[in-house]
Amino acid sequence: MPSSTGTHACAAYVEMRREGTGKNACATPRMNSGEGTVPRTPCITLITDFGTTDHYAGTMKGVILNINPDVQIVDICHQVAAYDIFEAAYALVQSYRFFPPDTIHLVIVDPGVGTTRRPILASAGHHRFVAPDNGVLSLLFGREEDVKVRHITADHYFLNPVSSTFQGRDVFAPVAGWLSKGVQEEKFGDSITDYAQFTSPKPKRVGENLIKGMALKVDTFGNLITNIGPQDIPELFAENPPPFRIIINNREITRLNLAYSMGRASELFAIVGSSGYIEICTNRGSAAKLLRANRGAEVGVIIGSGPAS
């Protein structure tokens, strides 16, 4: 049976959501109207799997700055696992909406570099996105309703010659640079609708009291981020939530906390993280190691004290 702390945490989370003070209250950021402010400096963000020990990320910045010395470049992440399109897609969808409108997001995780895969330019939610057409924008497409995508074919904006192994430098970075200079999107190529897109895994309700999901990611701290959110198990966030069990690799978690520091050392507990998903954590330790679990691990949530049915 879960402790009363878990029940209180559920109720407190509901109250925080009502008041707009919880950590997930910022999930849809509010932007300043812009009245009385100076024009924004153009901004380009970078997400890559290049790491920081090679020259690749820095070289792309140099290309951008040669085109527009006044642009602001922000590194979101260069430590995406090599070739991991889903991880890059997740990093993008968790970050892009916290940047100012008209920000250009450059996403380069490109295992198909040098092949016939297309470079694309997408616009959605008052942002622009430059990326290979390999599904890396899929989670963005799933979140935004009004999406427009173009196949980038205007090669006079590219560096010449175009490398078959480093098109982040020769194709994608120049396009982002020229976008930041004010070149209109239609100048880069025609609209397309057959862009690559994968379906994000969704939790499923099995029977009356069992929800099955999976681990989407293990973060740097060892927190296991699931694909299950409060909307998938509203019972736990009602005024009087029932007992629950979260099961991963035959281990049971029965406690829901509001903060990481509320857990004891080596104790496994759940929390609703800043991503909006339920995370499995331990205070100042790695839940993933304790559970011997990684991305893709099955996560079950049983509502009530009885068996799954």
Please report the pLDDT score of residue 305 as a whole number: 78
Please report the pLDDT score of residue 160 as a whole number: 96
Give the whole-angstrom CA distance, residue 163 versus residue 7: 57
**Cβ–Cβ under 8 Å, residues 171 and 157:** no
**Cβ–Cβ under 8 Å, residues 290 and 221:** no
- Given a cut of 70, the residues of the chain with pLDDT beneath it are 1-39, 309
Whole-number CA gyration radius for the chain: 22
Please report the pLDDT score of residue 40 as a whole number: 80
| Full set of structural domains in the chain with CATH | 4-26+201-303 (2.40.30.90), 43-192 (3.40.50.10790)
> How many CA atoms lie within 13 Å of 62's alpha carbon, on the beta-carbon side?
8
Distances (CA, A) of 188 to 65, 107, 112, 161, 178: 19, 17, 21, 18, 10
Q: Kindly tell me the number of DSSP H helices and DSSP E strands found in the chain.
A: 7, 16
Give the whole-angstrom CA distance, residue 207 versus residue 300: 12
* Angle between helix 173-180 and helix 56-67 axes, rounded to 10 deg: 30
Three-state SS string over 183-248 comes to: CCHHHHCCEECCCCCCCCCCCEEECCCEEEEEEEEECCCCCEEECCCCCCCHHHHCCCCCCEEEEE
| Element containing residue 287 per DSSP (H, E) | helix 287-291
Give the whole-angstrom CA distance, residue 151 versus residue 56: 24
Please report the pLDDT score of residue 218 as a whole number: 97
